[in-house]
Amino acid sequence: MSYLVLARKWRPKNFSDTVGQEHVLQALMNALETGRLHHAYLFTGTRGVGKTTIARILAKALNCETGVSAAPCGTCSACREIDEGRFVDLIEVDAASKTKVDDTRDLLDNVQYAAARGRYKVYLIDEVHMLSKSSFNALLKTLEEPPEHVKFLLATTDPQKLPATVLSRCLQFNLKRMTPRLILDRLSHICGEEKIEFDAAALALLARAADGSMRDALSLLDQAIAYCGGKIEEASTATMLGTIDRDHVVRLLKLLAEGDGKGMIDAVREIDEQFPNYSSLLDDLARDLQRVAVYQVVGTCDSEDEISEAEIAELAEAMQIADVQLYYQTAIIGRRDLQLAPDPRSGAEMTLLRMLAFKPAAAETTESAGGGGLVVGKPAPLRKATRPKPAQAQPVANQTTAAKSTAHSWTDPDWSQLVTSLGLAGAVRLLASNCAYLKRQENTVFLGLDPRSESMLTKQRKDEIAASLSKRFGEKLLVDITVGAAEEETPLQQESRKVDERLEEARQTLEADPNVQTLKNMFGAELKTDTIEIISGDKG
């Protein structure tokens, strides 16, 4: 007997076997059980997520000889023939190859006739968005007033190309991309049933490479079985996919945090010996930088099967929040421009060096949370604990003489300068920089928070600001933060205004420059003032 590929062998044959689309399955099962059946269903989603599979199961549920139900028997002649693709009343059409209006008219000529064997005549039109405008017009009337014995099941990867008149006549179900965890669980189940030995890490590579498509995952699993000789191992699977060992990605991230340019170039040289896919390398870097950024904000992240949360936590402590944002942006832009590089390796190396060459301007000067652009500078060495621990509040009576001698007496402060001197860092500093000073009443300092930054406000961060103020002024102070617009500028707003003023000054200076005036007069040149950028970290 010929070999049946896994994607076909393990295609679900009933709703209970289908994974990852519970929101669609529940709606269909309820409709089947209550008899509230629509005449046209549209299934949308990326490739390999189950559009035609669910449509075929629905066709079985409608025509099962035991009756219409959410659980077709799978053993009657109608169910078996639908599984085998030879049921006379299930008409499957690939719209990508039959786009002409004559094809559509031929298809609809027999709509008026009752089903030959089943309860319903089911038309399953795949990639329906490929039909021509005339074909849609021919289909429209039938969709609007179909015979009672006809059901239309439409599937497409691009619903935006369907006319609104067609969309309005269908019940639309949007199928989700499969998560790597869900794909991994399914692959593990199939390997167990097929008696195939495997490494969990190897299946994790396949799940990630499938990019949300279960069908692609099963095709890659078939390929891995053949490539690895029966036992699916991580090293062989990584070689087959051209992916980078996760240890190399972690190493690059740590070298990036340490600012070790030479070490990064040496690491790329070692990676190059594996004939890697550099696009995947930059994708992996961006993916893990995103997880570092999430950890820095919320204190946890989805570890899935890749870098452990402990390693993410270490990287989150070693990198400044603003640096992580810049590294991420540099990685995805480098990934986009990789095809323009002389060769993939040099493009990846330049992307990594670009991460080291630039840093937020604020970090180079006052390290304010705002920043007025990018500056070139030597990257800072690896630093631990960039986010300070909450200070321990102590009674004023118990403070040491040394602490009292360094305390400042209270006066209504310039909040921007005070934030800079408090020694705050990370998300706490960003919260303080988005606040404006309102007043002090007894031992409580009242601040107003920019409404756009409300999500940053937590009790722990507010308490850290209060602890820093208490330490600076030598007395126990509390902080009350109210969300709402304030009359005074926040430090970030003040920084943004200063940057705008510097840009306007630069524009006026260039407009008045004699050389610019000469170029305008001689060649009719035009100064594009909206392209002027501040590239120096000097605040002047």
Query: Checking DSSP bridges between strand 90-94 and strand 121-126, what pairing results, if any?
Result: parallel
Residues 6+ apart with CB under 8 A from 461: 427, 428, 431
Report whether 498 contacts 424 (CB < 8 A): no
The beta-strand segments (E) located in 242-331 are none
Burial class (CB in 10 A: 0-12, 13-18, 19+), 270: exposed
Report whether 48 contacts 209 (CB < 8 A): no
Task: Count the Cβ atoms, other than its own, within 10 Å of residue 159.
Answer: 18
Residues 6+ apart with CB under 8 A from 438: 446, 447, 448, 482, 486, 488
State the DSSP code for 359. E
Q: CA-to-CA distance for 274 and 245, rounded, in angstroms?
A: 9
Report whether 261 contacts 358 (CB < 8 A): no
Q: CA-to-CA distance for 266 and 297, rounded, in angstroms?
A: 32
State the DSSP code for 480. E
Provide the pLDDT for residue 318.
87
Report whether 494 contacts 368 (CB < 8 A): no
Q: Average pLDDT per run of 10 along the chain, which is 540 residues long?
A: 80 88 91 90 91 92 90 90 89 81 78 85 90 84 86 91 89 89 90 89 86 90 87 84 75 90 90 80 89 86 66 86 91 91 91 86 45 46 42 43 52 84 84 88 89 84 90 89 79 80 81 79 73 57
Provide the pLDDT for residue 245.
67
Provide the pLDDT for residue 303.
58
Query: Checking DSSP bridges between strand 444-449 and strand 435-441, what pairing results, if any?
Result: antiparallel
State the DSSP code for 103. H
Residues 6+ apart with CB under 8 A from 373: 361, 499, 533, 534, 535, 536, 537
3-state secondary structure 25-69: HHHHHHHHHHCCCCCEEEEECCCCCCHHHHHHHHHHHHHCCCCCC
Question: What totals of helices (H) and strands (E) does the chain contain, helices first?
Answer: 24, 10
Provide the pLDDT for residue 152.
92
Provide the pLDDT for residue 367.
43
CA torsion, ordered 507, 508, 513, 518, to nearest 10 deg: 80
Provide the pLDDT for residue 361.
60
Provide the pLDDT for residue 366.
42
Provide the pLDDT for residue 536.
53
Q: Which strand (E) or helix (H) includes residue 43? A: strand 40-44
What is the token pair recorded at 123?
A: 């038309």
